[in-house]
Amino acid sequence: MGSLSTLAFSAIEDSTRTTLCQKYDLRLVSSTAQIVKRKKGTKKDDIRLTLIGDVSYDVDPDKAAQRRGSWRHLDNSIKEISYVDSLASAQRQVISDTITGVNASEERFRSLSGNSPDILLLSTHGFYLDSHAASRHDFYLNKGQTTEENPNEGITPLLRGGIVLSDANTVWNNEGYRKDDTDGILTGEEIASLNLSNTKLLVLAACETGLGEPTITEGINGLQRGFKISGVDSMIMSLWVVNDVAGADFIKRFYERLLVNREDRHTAFRNTQLEMMERYPRKPYFWAPFVMLD
């Protein structure tokens, strides 16, 4: 059952070449237990929105220019969150907080625990490594989560996925080590230890944030599982590398519907998919990478 969570059901066509998202209001759940737990949401007078992006993966700009094979700055990130912030600022009922640059740190993210916003947008890198790649990566060797003698010992799927925050390249490139674990790499296991139960919607505007290791009963055991354990209601994530232009267009259209039109999150997501499908006919690579998981 878990492997089904890696499919873009919305793009599947029937015999008449009609996609499933055109015929049905599709809902993806992390497990069948979520169907029983589903409850009708109520609209709040005020919406708290936190935007995290334009992350400085290197505190030293000279090092950033010399990097090869490490986390690169996402140039379109600031455009994305600035646009969403402008939409939010025009709505009296939306209280927006934008966190960028070196301030987009692991410490700052952890501070949201117990007081997380209604909506959280993460415009940064996400990753998931298979057990072979993780067992040979310095990041896990230095943290003592794996050894050369027992390469796969201790590296659970929750540890092999994560999001990348400020100054992450220092540890990721084996240039330093922090015993307190605030290293800029926030793994699924660390996310699972947080309390993000106030958050009704998390948008992971990063590449392949929906990937992980399939399980029989709990869907994909990776980054998304960490957020579900932390208490997040719904999340939007990607199944493959998102085209920059199409991905930014999707996020903009979605937030217009969510914040300006005040559509509920499921309606806004489906309508955005249908809009994007019209914009990119017969090209699901551009309009179908994002999925919403309850």
Q: Measure the CA–CA gap between 143 and 195, rounded to whole angstroms.
A: 24
DSSP category for residue 17: S
pLDDT tens, per residue, the chain with 294 residues: 455 667 788 888 888 888 888 888 887 776 665 665 655 555 667 899 999 999 999 987 666 656 565 888 888 889 999 999 999 999 989 999 999 999 999 999 999 999 999 999 999 988 888 888 888 888 877 766 665 666 555 678 888 889 999 999 988 888 876 666 788 999 999 999 999 999 999 998 866 555 555 444 444 557 888 999 999 999 998 888 888 788 889 999 999 999 999 999 999 999 999 999 999 988 989 988 899 988
Q: Measure the CA–CA gap between 288 and 9, rounded to whole angstroms.
A: 9
Q: Rounded to 5 degrees, what are φ and ψ at 248?
A: -65, -40
DSSP category for residue 146: -
Residues 6+ apart with CB under 8 A from 183: 106, 167, 168, 170, 171, 177
DSSP codes of every residue in 106-129? HHHHHTTTTS--SEEEEES-EEE-
Residue type, 29: V
Rg (CA), the chain: 19
pTM of the model: 0.86
Identify the residue whose tokens are 């790649």: 133
